[in-house]
Structure 1
Amino acid sequence: MGVLVGYASAHGSTRSIAERVAVVLTARGVPVELRPMAEVGEARGYDAFVLGSAVHRQRTGGGGLPDRTSPC
Structure 2
Amino acid sequence: MSVVTVRIPDTMDHALRAAAADAPSLNAYIVQAVRRQMTLDAARKLAAVDAQAALDLDGEGDAL
- TM-score norm. by structure 2 comes to 0.30
Structure that is richer in helix per residue: 2
Query: Which protein shows a greater Rg?
Result: 2
- TM-score norm. by structure 1 comes to 0.27
Structure that is richer in strand per residue: 1
